[in-house]
Structure 1
Amino acid sequence: MKTPVIVSLALAASLVSLSASAEFAKSEDAIKYRQSALTVMGTHFARLGAMANGKLPYDAAQAARNAEVVALVSHLPWAGFAPGTDKGRESAARPEIWQEQAKFKDRADKMQTAVAERLLPAARSGNLDQLKAAFGPTAQSCKACHDDFRRR
């Protein structure tokens, strides 16, 4: 039963990644794109955190849906960090993103892995304790990138 959902998510992520890798007409467009993707991802991740921390009632179906959105959207923002997008629109991105591309990519990859291998299966399990156990380490993978590459 989960196979169609997994295949659908994989196909959607592939299609979105292909379209996101296209160049943006203006650096402002790239910045807006990445900020929008990060906002969507953060919103759905925060909902999972609220459930894991008891600030929202646990709803297994909602947890699974939120984790699926996070998993899909976790592949999007990176295309918006193209060369030349370090200036322009108000941004929390630090210059180190463009100076330390390998480290930045590594942080993004680690977050995507944590989401795909820990958070998503835990949210789909229907078990709050599994969600709680997966949420913290996944949040740490987000924080690691923010600590190095995001202005406070």
Structure 2
Amino acid sequence: MKALVALTLAATALTLCAPASAQFAKPEDAIKYRQSALFVMGQHFGRIGAMANGRAPFDAKVAQDNADIVAEMAKLPWAGFGAGTDKGAQTKALPDIWTEQAKFKDHATKLEAESVKLAAAAKTGNLDNLKTAFGATAASCKACHDSFRAK
């Protein structure tokens, strides 16, 4: 529970810093920012996945808390994909992100929308609703990874 509170506070801090994050001093700062946002989002998404896939007992409150964090975190990483951030630190981001920006933005928008639906499904307290929304959100993650992330 303490870890959840700490991660929630970290997510809140990142959210409040988002407008300032649009300008990074160095490309590696942007890379670290986006990787950190995606890592935190992935951790919370994984907790929901464990419940949706039966690897952890379903807890409606925990699912809702994690889904809310995923929905907020899904807004953040995109500022870290600006011009010149394709180099500067180790990254799995493919160059296509910068050459196919419209397609990349479509994937980002889809993830944001699906994560909002995930949070709404979690609020119902119904595991079947959560499973359905989790599957759609996971598919949006996979689609972007398939197109824009190195293996």
The correspondence of residues 51-90 of structure 1 with structure 2, limited to 5 A, is 51-90=51-90
User: Conserved in 2, the CA contact under 8 Å of 1:13 and 1:72?
Assistant: no
Q: Secondary structure at the match of 1:130?
A: helix
- CA drift at 1:13: 8.8
| TM-score in terms of structure 2 length | 0.88
Deviations 1:74-121 (A, max 9, x none): 0110010011010121101000000001110010001101111x2111
Matched, 1:125 2:124: yes
Contact map agreement 2:30 2:80 (CA 8 A) in 1:
yes
Offset, 1:133? 1.2
Q: Residues of 1 paired with 2:141 and 2:50: CA distance?
A: 16
**Structure 2 partner of 1:136:** 135
Equivalent position amino acid for 1:38 in 2: L
- Corresponding residue pairs, total: 140
Give the Cα–Cα distance (whole angstroms) in 2 for the partners of residues 13 and 105 of structure 1.
20
Question: Any unmatched runs of 5+ in structure 1?
Answer: 1-11
RMSD: 1.7
Hey, what does 1:99 align to over in structure 2? 99
Contact between 2:15 and 2:73, CA under 8 Å: does it hold in 1? no
In the alignment, structure 2 segments of 5+ residues that lack a partner are 1-12
Percent identity reads: 60
**Partner Cα distance (2:68, 2:138) in 1:** 16
- Cα deviation for residue 43 of structure 1 reads 0.6
CA drift at 1:14: 7.3
2:45 counterpart of 1:45: yes
Q: What SS does structure 1 have at the residue aligned with 2:33? A: helix
Structure 1: which 4+ aligned runs deviate by more than 4 Å? 12-16
Measure the CA separation in 2 of the matches of 1:121 and 1:106: 21
Could you tell me which amino acid in structure 1 is paired with residue 21 of structure 2?
A
Letter in structure 2 aligned against 1:125: T
